């Protein structure tokens, strides 16, 4: 794997572990720098072994592909930091690696000047303490009630978080979709058990437009029905629905799962009477199962597992639509949306197993025909299915990533109703906060001059974020950074670089925000990972030792 013209494979094992780790971080950071910010460019990853090509500017997407193709263990170790950040927040990967590389480069210069690692570690602890104090005093706080009611704020907040990943019209549409989902979720994310990936079902519609993405008040079943002629005009009003999770077939003698069409049981009978008895038993059993199911007068039965031909034929004769072996996620989503219990025993069927929808349709959605089950308009206690449009499967996947990022941001905002301003304002403000702390007499008494010198050098590394935002947008970063610092010193505390109109302005008036919970987790992870890397003195090659011994 080559990044920025440098191959990670070329990094040799040697006793200078710090230099090697810093080199790996620099290679990864250089790869992310060009795609950083809304004006950053896409990256193309080419795998020469299987000819796979990935084009994306999403940090999480690039990270997954890098981890899959990089073989060097040390590089994979560094990539685990970013994976933890992305899994928790859905964002922040590029910012993390850019800051990690910048800080490690500063540490390298400090050690070359004779500063010990112990002093650097103490400096990091001091910076972490200052970050915690900074986040307690430098945030815009909002009440949960205002967050839930202010859709205009949510829209601005969401647009800020995904701006540049899609066209302006698509960005607005995705943000509006996330606002609708957030309003439907309400206070549910405050529950500890809440997980959006299991609570919300996504259905990709390749071959459509992103602006066709919408929330379906119901669910979709991808499996084709057994007999579509039962659906008059490809639509059923007020369908009565049962979901069966138990198997509706007889296990074969070898114990393996069966029930598929055309299966023949390999059973030897002593005489013709035994064969007739077995056939009669199977027919009676099928009739009993069907009669129990028909007590609730269903129009549609959906099974998670297989069903034998006798039951299938009897249901067909009674004009009951049947869909077999539905995917697990679609089956679970159906029971959640209809608020019903799946049938686990044929002898225990009651009204709690029956769901009544508004309409059932069998029509083409995207490129394929699918069953759509819609709920009554007044029943919106659960989120149904989010239909995601896109020209290709990979585009749909990117839209889903964007939506999940915004949903996670809403969850974080609801659990911790604090926000930061974007456009590099956080890094600028924190660097200035550190400068102010260093000048205080109390701080100087508690810290020796070497620690103060280290912090002065390290705080300069935070300026890389606003500088890169401006550089990737075609603005002179040195001149722009000096303007930012000057305005901040002159009490414009919310100053930042607005990538939408390429202006240096007050982020509060521009409605450019950043996710506090994600940024806080990113910085705490950054400080801990830096300390972990700095503490590494030597990486021992176990194979070399075993060979020598």
pLDDT digits (tens, 9 = 90+) for 62-87: 777 776 667 677 778 888 888 888 88
Give CA–CA dist 143/160, Å, rounded: 20
Longest dimension (CA), the chain: 103
pLDDT number for residue 433: 92
pLDDT number for residue 68: 67
Give CA–CA dist 111/124, Å, rounded: 14
Which among 180, 158, 174, 182 has a CA at the least distance from the CA of 209? 174
Which among 508, 506, 486, 487 has a CA at the least distance from the CA of 496? 506
Give CA–CA dist 527/519, Å, rounded: 12
Whether the per-residue pLDDT at 521 is higher than 50: the answer is yes
pLDDT above 70 as % of the chain: 81
pLDDT number for residue 522: 93
H/E element, 71: none
Whose tokens are 């949510």? That residue is: 154
pLDDT above 90 as % of the chain: 24
Across 16-25, 243-252, 480-489, which has the greatest mean pLDDT?
Answer: 480-489
Q: How much is the average pLDDT of 141-150?
A: 68
> pLDDT per residue over 100-128, tens digit each?
999 999 998 998 899 998 999 999 999 99
Looking at the chain, which residues constitute the CATH 3.50.7.10 domain(s)?
A: 218-379
Q: Dihedral (C-alpha) 273, 275, 280, 286: value to the nearest 10 degrees?
A: 170
pLDDT number for residue 236: 82
Q: How much is the average pLDDT of 154-171?
A: 88
Which among 298, 299, 278, 292 has a CA at the least distance from the CA of 248? 292
> pLDDT per residue over 259-301, tens digit each?
444 444 445 555 556 667 767 777 888 888 889 899 999 999 9
CA 109, 464, 157, 399 torsion-angle sign: negative
Band of residue 129 on the pLDDT scale cut at 50, 70, 90: very high
Q: How much is the average pLDDT of 17-38?
A: 78
Q: How far is CA 218 from CA 363, 376, 386, 410, 518, in A?
A: 15, 9, 9, 23, 32
- What's the distance, Cα to Cα, between the start and end of the chain in Å? 33
Whether the per-residue pLDDT at 12 is higher than 50: the answer is no
User: 3 by DSSP, 3-state: which?
Assistant: strand
Whether the per-residue pLDDT at 173 is higher than 60: the answer is yes
pLDDT number for residue 3: 45
pLDDT number for residue 203: 86
7 pairs with which residues across the strands?
Answer: 2
Q: How far is CA 547 from CA 74, 217, 359, 543, in A?
A: 21, 65, 71, 6
Which among 57, 55, 72 has a CA at the least distance from the CA of 7? 72
Whether the per-residue pLDDT at 534 is higher than 50: the answer is yes
Looking at the chain, which residues constitute the CATH 1.10.560.10 domain(s)?
A: 2-141+419-548
Across 51-60, 194-203, 500-509, which has the greatest mean pLDDT?
Answer: 500-509
- pTM, whole model, 2 decimals? 0.74
CATH 3.50.7.10 fits 218-379, yes or no: yes
Question: What superfamily does domain 2-141+419-548 belong to in CATH?
Answer: GroEL-like equatorial domain (1.10.560.10)
Whether the per-residue pLDDT at 172 is higher than 90: the answer is yes
**Beta carbons of 384 and 217 less than 8 angstroms apart:** yes
Q: How much is the average pLDDT of 539-545?
A: 49
CA 253, 254, 258, 261 torsion-angle sign: negative
Q: Regarding predicted confidence, which is higher, 331 or 381? A: 331
Q: Regarding predicted confidence, which is higher, 245 or 66? A: 245
């Amino acid at each position: 794997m080559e990044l920025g013209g440098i191959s990670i494979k070329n990094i040799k094992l040697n006793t200078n572990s710090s230099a090697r780790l810093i080199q790996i971080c620099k290679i990864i950071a250089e790869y992310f720098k060009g795609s950083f910010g809304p004006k950053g460019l896409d990256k193309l990853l080419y795998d020469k072994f299987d000819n796979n090509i990935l084009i994306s500017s999403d940090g999480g997407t690039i990270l997954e592909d890098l981890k899959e193709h990089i073989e060097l263990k040390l590089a994979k170790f560094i990539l685990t930091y970013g994976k933890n950040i992305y899994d928790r927040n859905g964002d922040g990967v590029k910012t993390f690696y850019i800051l990690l590389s910048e800080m490690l480069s500063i540490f390298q210069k400090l050690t070359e000047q004779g500063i010990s690692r112990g002093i650097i570690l103490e400096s990091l602890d001091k910076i972490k303490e200052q970050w915690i104090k900074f986040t307690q005093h430098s945030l815009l706080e909002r009440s949960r009630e205002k967050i839930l009611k202010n859709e205009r704020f949510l829209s601005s907040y969401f647009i800020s978080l995904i701006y540049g990943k899609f066209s302006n019209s698509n960005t607005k549409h995705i943000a509006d979709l996330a606002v609708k989902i957030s309003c439907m979720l309400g206070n549910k994310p405050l529950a500890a058990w809440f997980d959006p990936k299991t609570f919300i079902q996504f259905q990709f519609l390749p071959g459509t437009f992103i602006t066709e993405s919408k929330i379906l008040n119901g669910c979709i079943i991808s499996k084709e029905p057994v007999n579509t002629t039962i659906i008059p005009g490809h639509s059923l009003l007020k369908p009565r629905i049962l979901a069966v999770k138990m198997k509706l077939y007889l296990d074969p003698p070898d114990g393996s799962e069966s029930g598929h069409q055309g299966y023949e049981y390999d059973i030897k009978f002593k005489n013709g009477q035994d064969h007739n008895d077995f056939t009669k038993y199977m027919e009676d059993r099928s009739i009993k199962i069907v009669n129990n199911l028909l007590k609730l007068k269903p129009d549609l039965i959906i099974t998670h597992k297989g069903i034998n031909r006798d039951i299938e034929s009897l249901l067909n004769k009674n004009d009951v639509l049947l869909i077999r072996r539905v995917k697990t996620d679609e089956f679970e989503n159906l029971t959640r949306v209809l608020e019903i219990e799946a049938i686990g025993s044929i002898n225990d069927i009651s009204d709690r197993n029956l769901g009544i929808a508004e309409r059932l349709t069998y029509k083409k959605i995207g490129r394929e025909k699918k069953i759509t089950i819609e709920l009554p308009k007044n029943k919106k206690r659960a989120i149904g299915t989010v239909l995601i449009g896109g020209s290709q499967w990979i585009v749909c996947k990117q839209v889903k990533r964007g939506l999940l990022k915004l949903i996670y941001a809403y969850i974080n905002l609801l659990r911790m109703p604090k926000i930061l301003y974007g456009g590099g304002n956080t890094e600028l403000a924190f660097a200035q906060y550190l400068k102010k702390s260093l000048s205080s007499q109390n701080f100087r008494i508690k810290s020796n001059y070497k620690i103060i010198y280290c912090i002065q050098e390290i705080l300069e590394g935070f300026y890389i974020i606003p500088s890169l935002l401006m550089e990737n947008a075609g603005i002179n970063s040195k001149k722009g950074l000096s303007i930012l610092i000057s305005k901040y010193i002159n009490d414009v505390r919310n100053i930042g670089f607005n990538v939408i109109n390429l202006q240096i302005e007050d982020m509060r008036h521009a409605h450019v925000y950043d996710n506090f919970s994600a940024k806080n987790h990113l910085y705490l992870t950054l400080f801990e990972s830096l300390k972990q890397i700095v503490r590494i003195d030597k990486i021992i090659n176990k194979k070399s030792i075993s060979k020598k011994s």
